[in-house]
């Protein structure tokens, strides 16, 4: 053990212990490092002589096992004490090794155990002053001589640099005839599992990022047991060397570099990659003057645990939470970016501590960073404000993303630059356009208040005007299904079915009859509730699995209905009930086991009483309805509806072998067909055939246009893929919730394949349409799809995305209110009667809050794209946005007048204003705002939002309303101008403190 340098008694004792620990460890084969011992013996960190002695002792012990180990590695690991280490090596007559160590270094990363922040590598002046003893081979060759072949593919040209993380060579790729850079790990790292993992991780993460401002990494390889990676060779200079050579960059160049760094870092964060070691030494300026982010050796995936086992990175460029607690996030990278920008614009570093303890102390006191006063007038105030915001001590106070920083910097908008050059801007350029979309707190609060008040108004109007509110004692689907099963058992069919299904349907014939009789939509009196219900409940059961057979291009497959599948299986039964449980119809297919030698007399009384009638109140008549099943006894009655003598009714029943197989109640307004058969589909008209042909031609045209756009490289394939994936996942979720699934594997697989055919068609059609049209919209209306592009790239926290959603939330909710208002306007103005509003009687909408959210999200996206495209084409043809808006407005007025000429102006006025607002949203805001408007409009129109806590569907409506308010609140929180809010809060707090001080005095 060497004599300890002159130290105070405390550190001297720790140094002796550390040296003893080091020698004992190497003797035992543990190979402890100087970094690890510095963490353990903290008093040594502020004493460079002690650190130099400890580092040299490790070098000496290690050299006994690895004779080829070079001091250059230690000079790179501890550049802060490089001069002391050189003296220590020279004192031990390590001159030959010292010559090699003085070669230009490839600056490595400082681990948390190093006592000092990063300092400069050898500057040109340093290199000029180097000893004449340096040999040419030690300076330029490294471990591979020029011309050496690596892995039978690469030919070494020269050594670019070396450092703690290894050596980097310029090489020729003989296979592709390109110049590349090869990075080799140090020789002693071959068995270091941690270093190898970091090396592989660098390649794994860097290959996920493809951006012009990020140095691409190609592949990883191995030669003679040594790992290396290949990456792009950047013919330029690192930013640290440039800044030390010329000082701060000119303002225009600094802004350009800042924008490029923001773009590169944003690309990494979009791929969920954290750099964790962003600093000038890891930024190259290439021959064209572009900034390129390099060295992802310490990068990590954002999904991993944000608290690492150790502090990794360069302390001088670490965020406070990274240095003090080892926590990394996008905000810690943004802090490092702020440090780099500070250096770029001022030519100075923010922190210049002499030890890590001093740096930790500076972070713990959280003193605010200030720009140099003498440069305050030379730096744009906006730039200074953005840099200082990046350097906020609290991560929550920093910008949310690198894209936010780029948008705040006063640089030229890349979108404007692309348009000025006559180019079609790329999707990334559109997404990164300078448009933050922040709203003031007052406007944002006004929009969310409008949304909440709109939902409250919708609940009030639903309770007065919805069809489901005008039925007699509406029971829940579960209760009605149990009632139907009980009724089937009472009619003699007690065997439990294998499968069953149920739901709701509406009868427009009854609704129109109520209108004819003068029943207002808002009339919920007992007299009205006693009338025949315009909605009914259906129940089906079968001894076999009930599987939907309908193949439809407009309805999600897999949902059993009253008519799908047809009632043809022996033992299958259909039941129709009024909302209060009264029998409206019954049908059952007989099975051979139903036959008996001496059948009993049919129990007609049971079905008549189940329908709410008494036999003595009915008159027997001749049956005349078509009975779709075998029957040996038939009977019919006439009478009047219970309690309503003005409404005649016809009842008809049939039996087979003594048991009821058919029952139906027919009112005067009923169509001359059985309620158990699907209405006949008429022949297609010439207009419908022509429309079909036009759709086919349009589809083929879109496919050809999409292929052309793909071949020319103008199509946004990533957005199209995400759009199709979104539609597929939404439809899959709805299918899982709404389809009637079977436990039989073959039936469930067949149903799934049927769904795949349906969903696959629509999920492919939308992206093809998008690929065909979007490039032209991006060429002419790029700013209107900025938020749309950001949303498709998952930037849901972006203020512009949030702003469009919030505006759509308020507008869509108010639109539903206007719709319901117009529906009741004739009642209020002329005391007329109108039919009730038919709430979506899809049972899934009434029982599951997810179903309306899922279905409306898909339809809103599709309809917004279609509407926005039609508007774009209209403007393209007419060549005037204002004239296009006027045409849409006029067409709507004409349509409203044709519907009701007496109230044309009264009814059309509010709706026309809404249509005008929606059109303006489409033109001024874009498809995302239009999609949000359609989504909130459709959900609030179909969801059972109510104030009635006794209604069985009330929880569903409340959960839907809560989800809508949650979406609007999320949008509001993310679109408000937080800087302005914080400034107001600070002003308010300062005013309060001043008031308190004056009160105390």
Tell me the domain boundaries of the chain.
9-102, 149-411, 441-465+685-978, 472-533+565-666
| DSSP type of residue 837 | B
Q: Over 70: is that where the pLDDT of 109 sits?
A: no
What pLDDT score does 134 carry? 33
Q: Over 80: is that where the pLDDT of 551 sits?
A: no
Above pLDDT 70, what percent of the chain? 77
Across 283-292, 414-423, 939-948, least confident range = 414-423
| pLDDT band, very low/low/confident/very high, at 135 (cuts 50, 70, 90) | very low
Residue among 99, 172, 238, 277 flagged as catalytic: 277
Q: Over 60: is that where the pLDDT of 348 sits?
A: yes
| pLDDT band, very low/low/confident/very high, at 7 (cuts 50, 70, 90) | low
Q: Determine whether the annotation assigns residue 183 to a binding site.
A: yes
Across 53-62, 129-138, 641-650, 755-764, least confident range = 129-138
Tell me what the mean pLDDT of segment 246-270 comes to. 87
Summarize pLDDT for 214-241 with one digit per residue, the tens: 988 888 888 887 888 899 998 888 898 8
What pLDDT score does 676 carry? 56
| pLDDT band, very low/low/confident/very high, at 4 (cuts 50, 70, 90) | very low
Q: What are the tokens at 174?
A: 């003989």
More confident residue, 839 or 119: 839
Q: Distance between alpha carbon 93 and the CA centroid of its chain, in Å?
A: 63
Tell me what the mean pLDDT of segment 661-669 comes to. 85
- Omega into 565 within 30° of 0, i.e. cis? yes
Above pLDDT 90, what percent of the chain? 16
SS3 content of the chain, % helix, strand, coil (to 5): 55, 10, 35
Summarize pLDDT for 696-724 with one digit per residue, the tens: 887 888 889 888 888 888 888 889 999 99
Tell me what the mean pLDDT of segment 455-482 comes to. 77
Tell me what the mean pLDDT of segment 505-524 comes to. 51
Across 76-80, 167-171, 450-454, 934-938, least confident range = 76-80
Tell me what the mean pLDDT of segment 330-337 comes to. 92
User: Does 277 participate in catalysis according to the annotation?
Assistant: yes
- Quick check: helix, strand or coil at residue 910? helix
What pLDDT score does 91 carry? 54
Q: Over 70: is that where the pLDDT of 772 sits?
A: yes
Q: Over 90: is that where the pLDDT of 809 sits?
A: yes
Q: Over 50: is that where the pLDDT of 969 sits?
A: yes
| pLDDT band, very low/low/confident/very high, at 136 (cuts 50, 70, 90) | very low
CA–CA dist 792, 936 (Å, integer) = 19
Q: Over 60: is that where the pLDDT of 363 sits?
A: yes
What pLDDT score does 674 carry? 47
Tell me what the mean pLDDT of segment 900-910 comes to. 54
What pLDDT score does 473 carry? 55
| pLDDT band, very low/low/confident/very high, at 794 (cuts 50, 70, 90) | confident
| pLDDT band, very low/low/confident/very high, at 141 (cuts 50, 70, 90) | low
| pLDDT band, very low/low/confident/very high, at 574 (cuts 50, 70, 90) | very high
Q: Over 50: is that where the pLDDT of 95 sits?
A: no
Q: Over 80: is that where the pLDDT of 726 sits?
A: yes
Q: Over 80: is that where the pLDDT of 978 sits?
A: no
Integer angstrom CA distances of residue 189 from 27, 169, 193, 218, 660: 20, 18, 8, 21, 87
Q: Over 60: is that where the pLDDT of 946 sits?
A: yes
- The CATH topology of domain 149-411 is Transferase(Phosphotransferase); domain 1 (1.10.510)
Q: Over 70: is that where the pLDDT of 420 sits?
A: no
Q: Over 80: is that where the pLDDT of 466 sits?
A: no
| pLDDT band, very low/low/confident/very high, at 128 (cuts 50, 70, 90) | very low
What pLDDT score does 831 carry? 52
Would you say 652 and 602 are in contact if contact means Cβ atoms under 8 Å apart?
A: no
What pLDDT score does 827 carry? 60
Task: List, as one string, the DSSP characters of 292-330.
Answer: EE---TT-EETTS-SB-SS--S-GGG--HHHHHH-B--H
More confident residue, 823 or 856: 856
CA–CA dist 58, 67 (Å, integer) = 13
Would you say 818 and 986 are in contact if contact means Cβ atoms under 8 Å apart?
A: no
Three-state SS sequence of 114-149: CCCCCCCCCCHHHHHCCCCCCCHHHHHCCCCCCCCE
CA–CA dist 659, 657 (Å, integer) = 6
Across 108-112, 426-430, 476-480, 739-743, least confident range = 108-112
What pLDDT score does 893 carry? 63
Mean pLDDT score across all residues of the chain: 78
More confident residue, 831 or 742: 742
Tell me what the mean pLDDT of segment 958-983 comes to. 87
CA atoms within 13 A on the CB side of 445: 5
What pLDDT score does 382 carry? 84
Q: Over 80: is that where the pLDDT of 869 sits?
A: yes
What pLDDT score does 730 carry? 92
Tell me what the mean pLDDT of segment 581-590 comes to. 90
What pTM value is reported for the model?
0.59
């Amino acid at each position: 053990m060497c004599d300890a340098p002159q130290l105070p008694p405390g550190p001297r004792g720790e140094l002796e212990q550390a040296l003893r620990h080091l020698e004992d460890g190497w003797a035992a084969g543990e190979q402890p490092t100087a970094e690890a011992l510095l963490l353990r013996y903290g008093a040594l960190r502020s004493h460079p002589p002690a650190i130099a002695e400890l580092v040299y002792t490790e070098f000496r012990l290690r050299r006994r096992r690895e004779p080829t180990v070079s001091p250059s590695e230690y000079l790179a690991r501890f550049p802060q004490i490089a001069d002391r280490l050189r003296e220590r090596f020279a004192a031990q007559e390590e001159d030959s090794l010292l010559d090699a160590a003085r070669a230009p270094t490839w600056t490595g990363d400082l681990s948390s155990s190093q006592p000092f922040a990063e300092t400069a590598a050898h500057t040109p002046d340093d290199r000029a002053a180097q000893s004449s003893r340096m040999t040419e081979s030690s300076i330029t060759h490294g471990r591979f001589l020029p011309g050496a072949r690596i892995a039978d593919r690469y030919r070494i040209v020269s050594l670019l640099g070396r450092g703690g993380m290894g050596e980097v060579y310029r090489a020729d790729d003989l296979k592709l005839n390109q110049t590349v850079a090869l990075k080799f790990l140090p020789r002693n790292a071959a068995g270091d599992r941690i270093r190898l993992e970091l090396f592989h991780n660098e390649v794994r993460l860097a290959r996920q990022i493809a951006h012009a401002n990020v140095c691409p990494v190609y592949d990883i390889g191995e030669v003679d047991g040594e790992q290396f990676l290949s990456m792009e060779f950047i013919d330029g200079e690192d930013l640290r060397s440039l800044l030390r050579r010329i000082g701060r960059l000119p303002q225009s160049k600094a802004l350009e570099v800042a924008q490029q760094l923001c773009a590169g870092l944003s690309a990494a964060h979009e791929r969920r990659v954290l750099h964790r070691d962003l600093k000038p030494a890891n930024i190259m300026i290439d021959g064209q003057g572009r900034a390129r982010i390099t060295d992802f050796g310490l990068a990590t995936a954002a999904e991993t645990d944000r608290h690492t086992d150790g502090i990794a990175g360069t302390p001088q460029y670490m965020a406070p939470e990274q240095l003090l607690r080892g926590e990394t996030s996008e905000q810690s990278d943004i802090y490092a970016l702020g440090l780099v920008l500070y250096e770029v614009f001022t030519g100075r570093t923010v922190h210049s501590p002499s030890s890590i303890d001093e740096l930790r102390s500076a972070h713990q006191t959280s003193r605010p960073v200030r720009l140099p006063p003498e440069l305050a007038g030379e730096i744009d105030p906006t730039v200074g404000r953005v840099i200082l915001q990046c350097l906020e001590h609290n991560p929550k106070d920093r910008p949310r993303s690198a894209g936010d920083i780029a948008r705040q910097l006063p640089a030229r908008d890349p979108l404007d630059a692309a348009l000025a050059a006559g180019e079609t801007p790329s999707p990334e350029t559109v997404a990164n356009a300078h448009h933050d979309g922040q709203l003031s707190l007052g406007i944002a609060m006004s929009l969310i208040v409008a949304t909440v008040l709109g939902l409250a108004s919708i609940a009030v109007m639903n309770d007065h005007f919805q069809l489901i509110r005008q039925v007699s004692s509406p029971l829940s689907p579960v209760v009605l299904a149990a009632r139907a099963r009980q009724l089937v058992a009472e009619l003699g069919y007690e065997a439990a079915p294998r499968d069953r299904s149920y739901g709701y349907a509406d009868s427009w014939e009854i609704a129109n009859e109520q209108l004819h009789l003068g029943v207002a939509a808002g009339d919920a009196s007992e007299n009205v509730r006693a009338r025949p219900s315009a909605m009914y409940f259906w129940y089906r059961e079968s001894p076999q699995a009930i599987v939907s057979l309908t193949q439809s291009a407009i309805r999600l497959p897999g949902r059993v209905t009253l008519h799908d599948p047809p009632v043809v299986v022996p033992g299958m039964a259909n039941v129709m009930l009024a909302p209060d449980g009264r029998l409206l119809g019954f049908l059952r297919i007989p099975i051979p086991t139903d036959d008996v030698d001496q059948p009993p007399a049919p129990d007609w009384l049971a079905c008549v009483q189940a329908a709410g009638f008494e036999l003595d109140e009915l008159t027997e008549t001749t049956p005349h309805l078509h009975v779709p099943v075998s029957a040996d006894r038939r009977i019919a009655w006439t009478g009047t509806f219970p309690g309503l003598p003005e409404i005649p009714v016809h009842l008809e029943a049939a039996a087979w072998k003594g048991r009821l197989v058919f029952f139906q109640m027919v009112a005067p307004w009923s169509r001359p067909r059985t309620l158990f058969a699907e209405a006949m589909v008429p022949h297609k008209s010439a207009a419908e055939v022509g429309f079909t042909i036009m759709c086919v031609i349009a589809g083929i045209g879109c496919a050809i246009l999409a292929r052309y756009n793909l071949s020319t490289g103008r199509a946004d394939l990533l957005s199209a893929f995400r759009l199709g994936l979104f539609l597929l996942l939404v439809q899959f979720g709805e299918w899982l919730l709404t389809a009637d699934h079977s436990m039989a594997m073959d039936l469930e697989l067949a149903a799934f394949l049927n769904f795949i055919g349906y969903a696959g068609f629509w999920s492919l059609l939308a992206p093809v349409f998008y690929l065909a049209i979007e490039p032209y919209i991006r060429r002419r209306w790029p700013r209107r799809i900025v938020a749309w592009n950001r949303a498709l790239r998952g930037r849901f926290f972006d203020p512009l995305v949030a702003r469009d959603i919030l505006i759509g939330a308020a507008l869509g909710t108010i639109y539903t209110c206007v719709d319901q208002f117009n529906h009741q306007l004739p009642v209020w103005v002329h005391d007329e009667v109108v039919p009730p509003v038919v709430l979506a009687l899809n049972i899934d909408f009434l029982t599951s809050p997810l179903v309306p959210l899922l279905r409306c999200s898909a339809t809103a996206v599709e309809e917004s794209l279609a509407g926005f495209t039609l508007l774009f084409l209209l403007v393209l043809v007419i060549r005037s946005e204002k004239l296009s808006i006027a045409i849409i407005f006029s067409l709507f007025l004409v349509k409203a007048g044709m519907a009701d000429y007496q109230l044309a102006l009264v009814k059309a006025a509010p709706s026309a204003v809404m249509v005008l607002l929606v059109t303006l949203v489409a033109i001024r805001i874009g498809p995302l705002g239009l999609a949000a408007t359609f989504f909130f409009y459709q959900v609030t129109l179909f969801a059972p939002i109510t104030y009635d806590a006794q209604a069985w569907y009330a929880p569903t409506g409340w959960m839907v309303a809560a989800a809508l308010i949650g979406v609007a609140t999320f949008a509001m929180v993310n679109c408000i101008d937080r800087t302005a809010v914080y400034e107001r809060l600070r002003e308010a707090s300062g005013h309060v403190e001043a008031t308190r001080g004056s009160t105390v005095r």
